[in-house]
Amino acid sequence: MKAIIPVAGAGTKLRPHTYTQPKALIPLAGRTILSIIIDQLVEAGLQEFVFVVGYLGEKIQHYVEQKYPTLTCHFVQQNSREGTGHAILLTREVVKDDEILIVLGDTICEGDYHELINSPVSMLGLKKVDDPRNFGVAEIDEQSRITRVVEKPQIPKSNLALVGLYKIKETAQLYDCLQSNIDQKIKSHDEFQLTDALECMIQHNVTFKPFKVSNWFDCGRKETLLETNAILLKKYRLANNPVLPYEGTIIIPPVSIGEGCNIKHSIIGPNVAIGDNTVVSYSIVKDSIVGSFTNLYEVVLKSSLIGSDANIRGLSQSLNIGDNTEIDLG
Say yes or no: 141 and 202 in one domain.
yes
* Domain around 268: 230-313
Say yes or no: 132 and 215 in one domain.
yes
- Phi/psi of residue 121, each to 5°? -130, 165
Say yes or no: 207 and 240 in one domain.
no
In a 3-state reduction of DSSP, which class is residue 169? Answer: coil
Whole-structure pTM value? 0.85
- Do residues 36 and 42 lie in contact, with contact meaning Cβ atoms separated by under 8 Å? no
Neighbours of 253 (CB within 10 A): 17
Contacts of 285 (CB under 8 A, 6+ apart): 266, 267, 268, 269, 272, 274, 296, 299, 300, 301, 304
Say yes or no: 126 and 243 in one domain.
no
Residue 328 resides in a domain: no
Residue 319 resides in a domain: no
Q: How far is CA 227 from the centre of its chain?
A: 12
Say yes or no: 65 and 168 in one domain.
yes
Burial of 85 (0-12, 13-18, 19+ CB in 10 A): buried
- Do residues 203 and 138 lie in contact, with contact meaning Cβ atoms separated by under 8 Å? no
Q: How many domains does the chain have?
A: 2
What CATH number is associated with residue 100?
A: 3.90.550.10
On the CB side of 308, CA atoms within 13 Å amount to: 15
Say yes or no: 184 and 301 in one domain.
no
DSSP state of 143: T
Say yes or no: 39 and 75 in one domain.
yes
Say yes or no: 36 and 167 in one domain.
yes
Residue-level pLDDT, tens digit, the chain, 330 residues:
999 999 887 666 667 666 667 778 888 888 888 999 999 999 999 999 999 998 788 989 999 999 999 999 999 999 888 889 999 999 999 998 899 999 998 888 888 999 999 999 999 999 998 888 888 899 999 888 999 999 988 888 888 999 989 999 999 999 999 999 999 998 887 888 999 999 999 999 999 999 988 888 877 777 888 888 998 898 876 454 545 678 899 999 899 998 899 999 999 989 999 988 999 999 999 999 888 888 999 888 888 888 888 888 886 555 555 545 565 555
Residue 161 resides in a domain: yes
Say yes or no: 47 and 163 in one domain.
yes
Say yes or no: 152 and 285 in one domain.
no
How would you classify residue 289: left for phi > 0, otherwise alpha for psi between -120 and 50, otherwise beta?
beta
Residue 201 resides in a domain: yes
